[in-house]
Amino acid sequence: FITQSQEGRGICKCRKVVDELGLTKKLIFFVVLLIKKYTQENIYYRWHSYTM
């Protein structure tokens, strides 16, 4: 019984870590998206002003 509960706790810990990793992944993805959008807009505006 003891080993089973320890294993369960380990799984819970793993799940918690996975959840945190998932959250950070989402955050990184969001930041990357923002940066991409910002740089694309900047490039577009620069190119637009350059061509005009």
**pLDDT computed for residue 42 by the predictor:** 76
Residue with tokens 């930041």: 31
Domain count for the chain: 1
Could you say which DSSP state residue 52 is in? -
Domain range enclosing 2: 1-52
Express each pLDDT in 7-52 by its tens digit: 777 777 878 888 888 888 899 999 999 998 888 877 777 766 666 5
Q: How far apart are CA 46 and CA 48, in angstroms?
A: 5
Q: What is the pLDDT of residue 31?
A: 92
The whole-number pLDDT of residue 4 equals 65
Q: Which amino acid is at 9?
A: R
| DSSP designation for 41 | H
Please give the pLDDT value at position 12.
78
Statement: the pTM of the whole predicted model exceeds 0.85: no
